[in-house]
């Protein structure tokens, strides 16, 4: 079980066996058989989920291969706090991308539920969920045309048809935030560098103001400087209403608050503070 996680916020009760703690009041009623240290940790955990923007409970993911079920994730739970970036690491083929796709409701789960701000994903239409929980794939999937064409692309989709698309001034602000002012809205995307294209793809995701960003190795093909710029951009997007889980194979860039490691269907967590990483 991942540290800081196994809780059911909206029911106001820790899922940990024997725990009677109410995270809403932050009062410890009784944690039967727990030491003082365990009780304190339990309190921390309930507080952690109370503060979490996104959480996943008892998620199992598998696929069928030759009639057999292959399990990629087994009954795991985790939470993402608002304002924080988290890394997701693990060997190739272990199921990291599958987990992100499941979080974006792009594939079925065997078990478990996802929550955004305490609201279960089952209460959302998939398209509405994906507007809030946005998956950005590894390849910057830009369409032919200008930077502006790409940034307003989400508003061309039926699901966002009733929403006002951002003005050029608002788009220019986004470019400035990503250190792309010199690129400009009228630049054809075929004339962007790989790092610039990756940032435009991220800005397109930011422009729709999702609460949860799921980034699938968006910096994989970039040089170190461009990867750092992407990390800085993601970090700058974090606020009290956003969180981010990103798959990375690179060395820590210091922007993550913690790292989830996936191996053999098990998810473990280490906070950056525990790792001694720079926050
Ligand atoms: N529907 C499916 N049918 C067959 N195999 C699948 C299916 N879904 C996932 N897999 C397999 O599950 C494994 C996990 O894939 P996934 O892309 O999630 O791994 P990953 O950890 O992101 O890998 P990488 O770091 O190389 O990108 C892979 O071996 C993949 O082929």
| Residue pLDDT, tens place only, 152-171 | 988 887 766 777 888 999 99
Residue 113's pLDDT is what? 97
User: Which numbered atom of ligand 1 lies nearest the CA of 99?
Assistant: 18
The CB density around residue 207, as the number of other CB atoms within 10 Å, is 19
Say how far residue 164 (Cα) sits from the centre of its chain: 25
Q: Is residue 103 within a helix (H) or strand (E), and if so which, with residue range?
A: helix 96-103
Q: Distance between CA 261 and CA 263 in Å, rounded?
A: 7
Given a cut of 80, is residue 202 above it in pLDDT?
yes
> Which of 157, 158, 155, 159 has its CA nearest to residue 167?
155
Residue 82's pLDDT is what? 95
Which of the two residues, 199 and 48, has the higher pLDDT score? Answer: 199
CA 62 to centroid of ligand 1, rounded, Å: 10
Ligand 1 neighbourhood includes 98 CB (under 6 angstroms): yes
**Ranges 11-20, 44-53, 234-243: which has the least confidence:** 11-20
Domain ranges of the chain: 83-110+124-275
Residue 274's pLDDT is what? 64
User: Which numbered atom of ligand 1 lies nearest the CA of 249?
Assistant: 25
Given a cut of 70, is residue 41 above it in pLDDT?
no
User: H helices then E strands: how many in the chain?
Assistant: 8, 12
Ligand 1 neighbourhood includes 227 CB (under 6 angstroms): no
Ligand 1 neighbourhood includes 259 CB (under 6 angstroms): no
- Atom 17 of ligand 1 has which residue's CA nearest to it? 97
Mean pLDDT of 84-104: 96
Where does 83-110+124-275 sit in CATH, by number? 3.40.50.300
Residue 156's pLDDT is what? 82
The CB density around residue 126, as the number of other CB atoms within 10 Å, is 12
Per-residue pLDDT band for 11 (boundaries 50, 70, 90) equals: very low
Tokens 């968006």 belong to 218
CA 175 to centroid of ligand 1, rounded, Å: 34
ipTM (interface predicted TM):
0.94
Given a cut of 70, is residue 18 above it in pLDDT?
no
Tokens of 82: 């608002």
Average pLDDT of the chain?
Answer: 81
Of these ranges, 1-15, 70-84, 193-207, the one predicted with the greatest mean pLDDT is 70-84
Given a cut of 80, is residue 23 above it in pLDDT?
no
CA 185 to centroid of ligand 1, rounded, Å: 36
- Atom 26 of ligand 1 has which residue's CA nearest to it? 92
Mean pLDDT of 11-28: 36
Q: Distance between CA 171 and CA 167 in Å, rounded?
A: 6
Per-residue pLDDT band for 194 (boundaries 50, 70, 90) equals: confident
- Atom 11 of ligand 1 has which residue's CA nearest to it? 93
Q: β-strands 68-81, 119-120: how paired?
A: unpaired
Mean pLDDT of 178-192: 92
Ligand 1 neighbourhood includes 62 CB (under 6 angstroms): no
Which of the two residues, 78 and 137, has the higher pLDDT score? Answer: 78
What is the rounded (10 degree) CA torsion for 195, 201, 202, 206? 150
- Atom 28 of ligand 1 has which residue's CA nearest to it? 93
Ligand 1 neighbourhood includes 94 CB (under 6 angstroms): yes
DSSP 192: S
**Ranges 64-78, 81-95, 223-237, 258-272: which has the least confidence:** 223-237
Mean pLDDT of 218-227: 85
Ligand 1 neighbourhood includes 192 CB (under 6 angstroms): no
Per-residue pLDDT band for 139 (boundaries 50, 70, 90) equals: confident
């Amino acid at each position: 079980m991942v540290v800081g996680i196994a809780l059911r916020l909206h029911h106001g009760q820790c899922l940990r066996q024997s725990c009677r703690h109410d995270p809403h009041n932050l009062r410890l009623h009784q944690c039967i058989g727990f030491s003082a240290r365990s009780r304190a940790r339990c309190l921390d955990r309930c507080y952690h989920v109370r503060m979490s923007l996104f959480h996943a409970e008892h998620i199992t993911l598998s696929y069928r291969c030759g009639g057999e079920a292959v399990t990629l994730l087994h009954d795991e739970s985790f939470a993402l706090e608002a304002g924080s970036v988290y890394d997701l690491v693990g060997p190739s083929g272990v199921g990291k991308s599958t987990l992100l796709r499941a979080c974006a409701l792009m594939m079925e789960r065997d078990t478990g539920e996802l929550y955004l701000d305490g609201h279960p994903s089952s209460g959302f239409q998939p398209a509405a969920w994906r507007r809030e929980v946005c998956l950005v794939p590894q390849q910057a999937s830009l369409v032919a045309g200008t930077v502006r064409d790409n940034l307003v692309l989400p508003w061309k989709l039926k699901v966002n048809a009733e929403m006002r698309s951002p003005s050029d001034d608002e788009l220019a602000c986004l470019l400035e935030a990503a250190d792309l002012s010199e690129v400009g809205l009228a630049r054809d995307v075929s004339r962007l560098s790989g790092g610039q294209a990756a940032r435009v793809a991220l800005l397109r995701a930011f422009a729709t103001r999702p609460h949860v960003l799921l980034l699938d190795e968006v910096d994989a093909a970039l040089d170190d400087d461009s990867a750092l710029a992407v990390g800085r951009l993601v970090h700058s997007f974090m606020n009290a209403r956003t969180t981010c889980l990103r798959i990375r194979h690179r060395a820590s860039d210091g922007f993550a608050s913690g790292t989830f490691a996936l191996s053999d269907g098990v998810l473990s967590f280490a906070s950056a503070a525990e790792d001694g990483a720079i926050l």
